[in-house]
Structure 1
Amino acid sequence: MRTYANQPPGTITRARELRRNASEAEKRLLRALREAFPTLKWRHSVPFGPYYADILCFSAKLVIEIDGGQHGEAHAYDERRTRHMNAEGYQVLRFWNNDVLANTDGVIAQISLSFQEREGAHLRASGDGKGEDGVGSALPSPLRAFGAPPLSRWERGSGAPA
């Protein structure tokens, strides 16, 4: 997904504004992600079709949304956003601001578990549940390559997302 391709005017300015005015929870989680998963590239306040992702990792096809109190009132909007991101092949994880601030390690553990579940499903689907020694199951790791993501419908010019 090329985030700035085919975007309306003002997209870059808005993304920069979002990054400059990031909440303390977003800043803290971004730092923690970069420390916990240093081989992955984490981007912050990224245009994603007509939306913005709080934190995004292209290689893992993962979007992390950090929700404040306003998201309790914007449930329908958040659902549309999540459906759009899922349709592009991205997994969306949501955490509340207070969870990130009060329990950053727990949030990182949840994200790590998400990586492990996805990798385990990938190994089962490929029929390879064995470790390097050929016995048992390999330890899932978010550090394995997920491969290059395909172009999104938005990038292919198939029209605006639903």
Structure 2
Amino acid sequence: MVDPRVRTLRQNQTEAERLLWRQLRGKRVGGLRFRRQQPLGSFIVDFVCLPARLVIEVDGPSHDLTVEADECRTTWLETQGFRVLRFTNDQVRYRLPDVVDAIAAALPVEKAIAN
């Protein structure tokens, strides 16, 4: 059963999250599966590729007010073996190809080839 918070986040994605999800879904980047609004510990991350241990966060203006919380979240995710990439809404909206290239570059080559 899907956590109600996850369901709400999936139904109310930002424009930037929708744009990025269209690029990530269906193993379109590196041949690896990404999940959206995925619970990890007590957090729900925007996107994650579990085999590559890669978390993608898309931050809007509200994240300017949560810098410390975001740093704690990133630290916890890194202690769990995840690499965290953060992009702003504007980066996703206006430089989507560059964002997708950065994500692809962060994927381990051997995992991308194996899948």
Instruction: Report the TM-score when normalising by structure 2.
Output: 0.89
Q: When the two structures are aligned, how many residues end up with a matched partner? A: 114
Partner of 1:29 in structure 2?
20
After the TM superposition, list the runs of 4 or more consecutive aligned residues in structure 1 that deviate by more than 3 angstroms.
Answer: none
Task: Tell me which structure has the larger Cα radius of gyration.
Answer: 1
Q: Which amino acid aligns with 2:9?
A: L
Q: Which residue does the alignment assign to 1:143? A: 112
CA distance in 2, matches of 1:72, 1:145: 38
> Structure 1's 34 and 142: CA in aligned 2 closer, same or farther, altered over 3 A?
farther
Task: Show CA shifts across 1:35-93 (max 9, x none).
Answer: 63263111111111111100011111110000000111100000010011101100000
CA distance in 2, matches of 1:38, 1:108: 10
**Counterpart check, 1:42 vs 2:42:** no
- Per the normalisation by structure 1, the TM-score is 0.64
- SS of the aligned residue for 1:46 comes to strand
Percent of aligned pairs with the same residue?
Answer: 35
Structure 1 distance, partners of 2:7, 2:77, is 21
Unaligned runs of 5+ in 1: 5-10, 120-139, 147-162
Query: Corresponding residue for 1:66?
Result: 58
- Classify 1:97/1:141 alpha carbon distance in 2 versus 1 (closer, same or farther; 3 Å): farther
Matched residue, 2:8: 17
Greater share of residues in strand: 2
Counterpart of 1:95 in structure 2 is: 87
CA contact (8 A) 1:62 1:92 kept: yes
